[in-house]
Chains A and B, each alone.
Chain A
Amino acid sequence: MERKKIDVKAIKKDVKEKVSVGEEDFPFDISPMYEGERIRKGEMYVELGGPKQPGFELVVALPIDQVEDMKVTLLGSDLDELEEGQAHPYAMIYYVAGSQIDMDLEPVIERRNHDFQNFIEGYMHLNQRYDIWVRIGKNAIDKGLRSLTQIAKATMMLFKNEMPFIEKIEALYITDGEIVEKLLKEYAMPIYEERDARIEALHDEDVDEFYSCTLCQSFAPTNVCIISPDRPSLCGAITWFDGRAAARVDPEGPNRAVPKGELIDPIGGEYTGVNEFAKEESGGEYTRIKLHSFFEYPHTSCGCFEVIGFYMPEVDGIGWVHRGYAEPAPNGLTFSTMAGQTGGGKQVVGFLGVGIGYFRSKKFIQADGGWYRVVWMPKELKQRVEKFIPDDMRDKIATEDEAKTIEELKEFLKRVNHPVVTGVVRHVDGKKITEGWVEERRVEEKVVEKAEVEEAPQVPTPSVSISPMPGIRLVIKNANIYIDKIVLRRKKEGEKS
C-alpha cells in the first residue's frame, strides 16, 4: 500500500477546511495525571467516533520533504458547529517523517496517540485503529477549548517531545462522515491489514532485541520467559509486539528488552545476549537457552503454559497435551502430573511448556524436527492449530481417536509411515536427526574398561539437578565426575527399571 498524502482538494467538493500552522498556547492542562479520566455522558460536550459513528486514527510515514511540520488541516465542522450531546464521525491522520522512521515504526507511533491524547484535560480517548471512541468534556470547553486544531497541535507537540526521532509531524483531522468512511475503507483498512500480515512475516533474525517477561516470578522465582517474534510467551498472553510496547512504557518493569547479541546457533536459536540475560535473571540457575529446541537447554516454564510437550522414547516422538484435557496421554500421564514436573522455572529435558501461539511459529521446535517429530495431540488441540500443520503431516499425527496407549500409537505411526519410524529429517537444513525405530534384538552387554584418569571422560557439570525423591533436590555445582565403568545394556522386554 503506497504511502501518500491525501489530496485534500480532490477528496470532496465544498467541504469546510480549516488550516493552522505553528505552536500555540493551550487553554487546557496537559499532564499524565489525566490518564484514565472518564468523561460521563452527562459531562460530555460531544462524542467522536465510538459505537455510533465511524472513526479511525492512523499514522503514515512519509519522506521528509512532504511533511509540513506542526501543520493541522481540519475537514468538516469544528467544535463550535458540532451538535452538543451527540456523537460525530472522527478521523485523525498523522504524517510523520524522520531519518529513523520507516513503515515498521508506524504502529509503534500510532499506539501513543491514545496515551498522549489522554494527557489532555477534558479529553478521553479509548481503543485504537477503527474502534476509537473519544469524548470531549464540558469542562474543557469551559476552560476555553474552541477547536479540534488545538487538540491536534497539543498531540503533535507531545509526539515530538516524547519521541525525538520524529523530525516532522503534520495532522489531518476529519469530522465529515462521508470522507471518514471513504478514507477508512480505501486508505486506512488496507494499511492495517498490511501491518497484520507483516507480523506473520517477522522473524527472529529480523529484529535486534527480544523481550523478557518475569511476571510469573512470584510463583517461579527463577523463571524468565524470552519472547521473540518466532516464540511468544508460554502463558499465551504476550507476543513480541506486546513485549516491545510494554518495555517501551516501563523499561524497568516485568517486560524488558533483551539485546540478542551474537548468534550462536541459528537452528536451535541461541544468542549470547539472551544467555547473558538468562544467567542474570535466573540468579545463575541456568546459563544457556535454545529458543527452538526441545532437548537441548530448553526454555523454562513457570507452570502457566497452555500446552505441554512430552517425549515418548518408545516411539522417539513428541506429544503435546493442552491444559483442559483431563485424560492421560499415551505415556500414561495427565496434563497436571506432567505440569508438576515441568513448572517452577527449571530446565527439564523431556518436557516443554509452550503457549498455543508457538504452534504457528515457523521455527516450532525446529532443532528437533518441528512438526515432523510430533506424533500425538488431543483432537481439540489439533483442530485449533490445524492450519499450521504442514499438509504432509496433518494425517500422520494421532489424536485420542486413533491412539490412547503407546501400543496403539506405535501401530498408528507404523501404518501412516510417520517420519519418526524411518528417521526424521530436519527440514530447516536437511539433516537427518534421528535413526528411526531400530528392531528390538538382544544385545550383548558392552563393558567399557576402566580408563586412565587423564583420559577419563570428564562430564563438565556447571550445575546438575537430581531429584532422588519428591521434595528433595540435589544440586551439584562445579563438580568433575569420574566414571569408573559404564555398562550399556538394552532393556529386555517386560523388564522393570
Chain B
Amino acid sequence: MAVLLVYFLSRKYRVLAVDADPDSNLADALGIEGYKTLGEIRELFQHSRDDFGTMSKESWLEGKIYGEVIFEADDFDVLVMGRPEGEGCYCFTNNMLRAILRKLMRHYDVVVVDCEAGLEHISRKTIDSADVILVVTDASRKGFKTASRIRELAKELGLKAKMYLIANKVREGEENVITRYAKSEGFRLLDILPYDEEVAKADLEGLPIPLDCRVAKKVENLAGVLICEANP
C-alpha cells in the first residue's frame, strides 16, 4: 500500500519514500536496486572514522547519503534505512545523521515512511514529527491487537500526529468486523482496502501493481484525503 501511495503522491508532489524496515520491503516493491542503505554508510563511518584527519565527518556522511544512498527513481526519491545499529557508540553518528536528514527532508513536499509492523518506531520516537500516522491492519485478531497497542503507546508518548486506521486485504463479509473494531477502539477508520487478486498476482510474479485495479483506485483517493488531513 505504501508503494501505491508513493506512486500517486509523486504525481503532484515532490516525494521522498523512506524504507525504515530493516527487512527492506518497500525498496523491493518499488523495484529499485543499486543503492546503498543508510545502515551500510553508518557502519562504514564507524569503522573508518579514525582516518579522517582534518576532513569534515559531517560532510562525508552528507555526501555519501546524497550521492550513494538516495536513489532517484523517475518521479520520486527513495532512502533505505537498512540494518539497525551494531556494537559501539552511535551517539555522535546518530546526532549527525539526524541533522543531515532533517535538512534533507525540508526540501520535499511529502515524506512517506514505511515502518515495520510493530511498535519499534513509535517507542523510539523515530517518527514523532510525522503529521499523519497510518496504522495498517488486516481482518485478524493479531492485527487488531497490534493496532490497539500502537495507538495506546502513541497516546502515552504524547505523539502529536493524527492517527488513522486502514484495513488492508479485507475479504467480502469482513468489513463489519473492521468497522466494529474501529468504533470500539475509537480509531478513525479512513478506508477499507479489499483483497485484490490482481495485486496478489502481481506481487508474486514480481511485477508492478497495475495502477488501474480496484485497490489502486482507492489508494489514489486516499492520497488526496491524506494531503488534506496533513495540511488542515
Contact = CB atoms under 8 A, between A and B. Distances in A.
Q: Which 3 A-B pairs have the closest CB atoms?
A: A36-B103, A304-B89, A237-B92
A41 B58 CA distance: 23
B62 A38 contact: no
Contact of B66 (A126, A238, A239, A356): A126
Given A36-B107, A235-B88, 9 more contacts: A36-B106, A40-B77, A127-B59, A215-B95, A235-B92, A238-B92, A241-B54, A242-B56, A304-B91
Interface of B: 49-50, 52-60, 62-63, 66-67, 70, 72, 74, 77, 87-89, 91-93, 95, 100, 103-104, 106-107
A194 to B, nearest CB: 11
Interface in A418-468: none
A114 B74 CA distance: 28
A254 interface: yes
B49 A324 contact: no
Nearest to A324: B87
Nearest to B66: A126
A213 B49 CA distance: 17
A199 B49 CA distance: 15
A128 interface: yes
Contacts of B55: 128-129
30 contacts: A33-B106, A36-B103, A38-B104, A40-B77, A41-B72, A42-B74, A107-B54, A114-B56, A124-B66, A126-B59, A126-B67, A127-B59, A127-B60, A127-B67, A128-B55, A133-B67, A235-B88, A235-B89, A236-B49, A236-B50, A237-B89, A237-B92, A239-B52, A245-B56, A302-B89, A304-B88, A304-B91, A306-B89, A323-B88, A357-B50
Nearest to A195: B54
Which of B50, B54, B60: most chain A Cβ within 10 A?
B54
Given A36-B106, A235-B92, A126 B77 contact: no
B63 A38 contact: no
Contacts of A213: 92
Chain A interface size range: 35 or more
A216 B56 CA distance: 21
Interface string A242-273: 10010000000010000000000000000000
Contacts of A285: none
Nearest to A128: B59
A215 B53 CA distance: 21
Nearest to B68: A51
Contacts of B63: 126-127, 131, 133
A130 to B, nearest CB: 11
Given A216-B91, A236-B49, A306-B88, A196 B56 contact: no
A35 interface: yes
Contacts of A242: 52, 56-57
Nearest to B65: A126
Interface string A6-44: 000000000000000000000000000101111011100
A126 B106 CA distance: 17
A111 B56 contact: yes
A254 B95 contact: yes
A33 B106 CA distance: 9
A111 B57 CA distance: 11
B78 to A, nearest CB: 12
Contacts of B91: 215-216, 219, 235, 237, 304
A199 B89 contact: no
B19 to A, nearest CB: 18
A126 B92 CA distance: 20
Contacts of A33: 106
Interface string A45-72: 0000011000000000000000000000
B107 A111 contact: no
Which of B56, B63, B77: most chain A Cβ within 10 A?
B56
A37 B107 contact: yes
A324 B67 CA distance: 31
Nearest to B59: A128
A195 B53 contact: yes
Interface string A217-233: 00100000000000001
Given A107-B54, A128-B59, A323 B92 contact: no
Contacts of B57: 237, 242
Interface in A109-126: 111, 114, 124, 126
B106 to A, nearest CB: 6
A306 B91 CA distance: 13
A236 B103 contact: no
A199 B92 CA distance: 21
Contacts of B59: 111, 114, 126-128
A195 B162 CA distance: 52
Contacts of B56: 111, 114, 128, 242, 245
Contacts of B66: 38, 124, 126, 133
A245 B59 CA distance: 11
B62 A126 contact: yes
A176 B84 CA distance: 44
A51 B67 contact: yes
Contacts of B49: 236-237
Contacts of A323: 87-88
B50 to A, nearest CB: 5
A198 to B, nearest CB: 8
Nearest to A202: B54
Interface in A47-102: 50-51
Contacts of B95: 215, 254
